[in-house]
Amino acid sequence: MKEALFYEKLPNRSVKCNLCRQFCQISDSNRGLCGVRENQQGILYSLVYGKVIARNIDPIEKKPLFNFMPGSRSYSIATVGCNFRCANCQNADISQASKEGLFFKQKLIPGDDLAPADLVKEAVSYLCHSIAYTYTEPTVFFEFAFDCMKLAHEQGLKNIWVSNGYTAPEALMTARPYLDAVNIDLKFFSEQNYKKICGARLQPILDNLIWYKRNNIWLEVTTLIVPSLNDDDDQLKAIASFIKDKLGSETPWHISAFFPTYRLMELPPTPTATIQRAWQIGKDVGLKYVYGGNVMDSRMESTFCPNCDEMVIERIGYQIKRLDKNRKCPNCQSLVDIVE
């Protein structure tokens, strides 16, 4: 437990949390919407500092990041907690553990105690090139992630956030010097669906996506295609057009297949044909790098030269079968938008 950053004190021992765009006002002895920041007598504490619930060595492609350090390994960590309540959450067992279930009832925060220095040491010992703050929402364990990020840079490691994009401005500016790449979920292009499915708003996410791009943090965008919620041509074209017009045609767009989970068990899995249609929409709009996820299709998983369509990186699942170095197309020698 550690005193939180980014909060202000209010009358009657209440506080306002300014870490994320929920901007929770929290009365004494209560927690914010994330379930991991608690007001104790007018002081806001992070309950998840050093409480690691998951840590794995992942291919960076699993984040997914396809154009940032391709073929490298990333030490991936998470604590419990999330500032969203997505009905289709793929990791609800840990993201919602502080808000529902046995741990919530007992007011417990599960996780293994791990100091930032030890975490970074582990990442180096496993020959990882980066640390990814992922699986849940890195914003809600900002204090712990931030201390790890500073040490990671000292050891030559890159820092990656896999995020829902709801971080508040002050926290973004604080993280900026140590944040190298992000993958942001752009779940819907509908205010109604964001409110209904996630308990959030669309515009702050769009604003943050533009902020990441303007601040030269490598950005890739992911959209999980959920049948009946965001699989119509109009919404897919709107997302692709926003990426092209506001973030740049070089920004990779990952479109992934949904499988029934958590509170959306009644919906069917996303057909492969829908992913193929969305992939083609992204291409037709003018995006240079569009990728299909949760499907086995080498064409949609691989990276091609945007100038001549020559394959530059061949992928099967998260595995790289072929990787051409030096950021140049082997056919026409055009530069490909890849960070090595």
Name the H helices within 31-163: 92-95, 101-105, 116-125, 142-154
CB atoms within 10 A of CB 29: 10
Length of the chain: 340
Tens digit of each residue's pLDDT (9 = 90 or more) over 138-172 = 999 999 999 999 999 999 999 999 999 999 999 99
Using pLDDT thresholds of 50, 70 and 90, give the confidence band for residue 325.
confident
**In angstroms, rounded to a whole number, what is the distance separating the alpha carbons of residues 124 and 112?**
19
Separation between Cα atoms, residue 79 and residue 29, nearest integer Å: 21
Does 107 have pLDDT greater than 80? no
pLDDT in tens, 75-97: 999 999 999 999 999 999 999 98
Give 3-state DSSP helix, strand, coil % of the chain, rounded to 5.
30, 25, 45
Confidence of residue 102 (pLDDT cuts 50, 70, 90): low
Q: Is 332 buried (19+), middle (13-18) or exposed (0-12) by CB count in 10 A?
A: exposed
Q: Residue 209 pLDDT > 70, yes or no? A: yes
- pLDDT tens per residue, range 182-196: 999 999 999 999 999
pLDDT for 101 beyond 80: no
Peptide bond into 169 cis (omega under 30): no
Superfamily, domain 51-323: Aldolase class I (3.20.20.70)
- Cα–Cα nearest to 224, from 263, 182, 195, 253: 253
What's the average model confidence in pLDDT over 4-30?
97
DSSP string, 207-252: HHHHHHHHTT-EEEEEEEE-TTTS-SHHHHHHHHHHIIIII-TTS-
As a whole number of angstroms, the distance between CA 252 and CA 40 comes to 43
* pLDDT value for 296: 83
What local confidence, expressed as pLDDT, does residue 69 receive? 97
Sequence ranges of the domains in the chain: 2-46, 51-323
Quick check: helix, strand or coil at residue 9? strand
Three-state DSSP class for 61? helix
**For residue 190, how many C-alpha atoms fall within 13 Å in the half-sphere facing its CB?**
18
DSSP state of 301: H
- DSSP 8-state code for residue 194: I
Amino acid at 272: T
Prediction pTM value: 0.96
